[in-house]
Amino acid sequence: MGLVFVVEQEMTVKRLVAIIFIFICTFVAWMILGAVNLSRTGESYAELHEDVRSLYGDALKISAPSMAHVEMVPSVVVQNGVQTTQYAEQKTDIDVGKQQVRIGLHLDRRKKGTLWFPTFKATFHGTYWFDIPAEMQQEKVRLYASLGNSNAVYKDIEIKINGKRRQQITPFLKNTPIEIDAPGKRVTLEMSFRTTGMGEVSYLVTPEYDEVSEIRNLDLQVETDFDDYDFLADTLSPTSKEKTQAKNLLSWRLKNAVTGKDIGVVIPNKLNPGEILSRVTFFAPVPLLFFFFIVMMISILKKIPFHPMHYFFLATAFFSFHLVFSYYSDHMNIYTAFAIASVVSLLLTSSYLRLFTPKTFAFVIAPIAQLIYLIIFSFSFFFKGTSGFIGATFSVLTLFVLMQLTGKLNWEDVFSAKKKNDTTKEA
């Protein structure tokens, strides 16, 4: 009898080792598939991103204009006994008394190959009032202004200085200073254009050479025709938000503020298969671990014989979900590919279990467990920030249910059941 007990213990350990080995092999396969998905996505994105950028442009950055009075200040320099006079520029900044900016953003996502890109169309209109100090009036001042750094096409450009339309716009494209007359107390600049971009829209409130600057009378509004906008990190939050049926109005109104932050809006994009595939695939061992645990507990409760090879084929049924999802999503909508992968995996599991387990287990218990731990867990990655919540919730619920079902089990009898059966047969 002692020999039988030792043999039974060895068999139990071997079964557990075999199941663990199957799990590890499947884990490795998932890691390889996840790495392949990352590589495929990265190569495709790098190539296609450049194509879209050449059509729509990159992130759109619009700088607030600035103005300064520049005069040549003489200085006497003695070199090798020779006295010469040299002139250096002395620049005095002129503050923007008020700036009123209106930016309209129309979502115009572009699909290239199998990937979506967050492209947009933009309209811009800005009016700036510069207050000229008394000592600088009736002199020439320099205006520094640019249309932005997007490499897309600018259309319907209109620039007015003191109400007069400016025909020459090259300096605004090259960001070179423009000398203008300051006949009165104020200089007014109006700029408007239409353009395109991708990913982000930034309005640079502060000059690039200033870490912190004073902002007075800023009235900036961004109108979007999409809801799921976001803001760039380390930028100013809007002072107010208004929602209509088709538009969102984001406002930044600062009367007198000191800041080193700018304003930036992130353009939303559609779900790309590669982003979801990699996360779902790398997370796959967790659902399989839960499923194996459920199968093992139910098999003990219902006295269903499970061999390690059964666990092997169940693991392949799980792996088939990610395999189908990975490659079908290249040729169809990501949600359709997910649905097909789910049905294929469920059919493989149920059609296999019906051959050696009760129908209730094959067509009810196992599919429900697979639906929760594989499909729902995987689908949670379609929504940012929900996968952890869903995983924690179902983990605790699973633990509670199994504790209630197995609380009265005598585990000593469970693991020595074969020993008793063998002893009965010998008698």
- Asked if residue 378 belongs to a domain, the reply is yes
On whether the CB atoms of residues 44 and 115 are closer than 8 A, the answer is yes
- What total number of domains does the chain contain? 2
Question: Model's pTM, two decimal places?
Answer: 0.69
pLDDT of residue 299: 83
Examine the domain organization and report whether 233 and 348 are in the same domain.
no
At residue 266, the pLDDT reads 94
Q: Write down the pLDDT at residue 148.
A: 67
What does the pLDDT average to over 347-364?
92
Residue 50 lies in a domain: no
Residue 2: pLDDT over 60: no
| 253 and 305, same domain (yes or no) | no
Last residue of a domain, one of 266, 281, 297: 266
Are 84 and 221 part of one and the same domain? yes
- Yes or no: say if 121 and 108 are a contact pair by the CB < 8 Å rule: yes
* Residue that finishes a domain, picked among 266, 287, 319: 266
| Same domain, yes or no: 158 and 118 | yes
DSSP for 112-171, written as a single string: ETTEEE-EEEEEEEEEEEEEPPGGGTTEEEEEE----S--S--EEEEEEETTEEPS--HH
Residue finishing a domain among 266, 290, 319:
266
Tell me, yes or no, whether 34 and 134 share the same domain.
Answer: no
Residues 198 and 79 in one domain: yes
CA angle, 367 then 335 then 314, to 5°? 30
Number of other CB atoms surrounding residue 52 within 10 Å? 20
Tell me: pLDDT of 9 over 80: no
Domain range enclosing 186: 60-266
Among 42-56, 180-194, 288-302, the range scoring the smallest mean pLDDT is 42-56
Average pLDDT across the chain, whole number: 82
The verdict on residue 158 lying in a domain is yes
CB-CB contact of 84 with 76 (8 Å):
yes
pLDDT at position 211: 67
**246, burial (CB in 10 Å: exposed 0-12, middle 13-18, buried 19+):** exposed
pLDDT band (50, 70, 90) for residue 419 = very low
CB 295 within 8 A of CB 262: no
Give the CATH number of the domain where residue 122 resides: 2.60.40
* Nearby residues of 225 by Cβ (< 8 Å), 6 or more positions away: 105, 106, 107, 246, 247, 248
Same domain, 101 and 232: yes
Q: What is the pLDDT of residue 210?
A: 59
Q: In whole angstroms, what is the distance from residue 104 CA to residue 99 CA?
A: 17
Q: Predicted confidence band at 56 (pLDDT cuts at 50, 70, 90)? A: confident
Is 157 buried (19+), middle (13-18) or exposed (0-12) by CB count in 10 A? Answer: middle
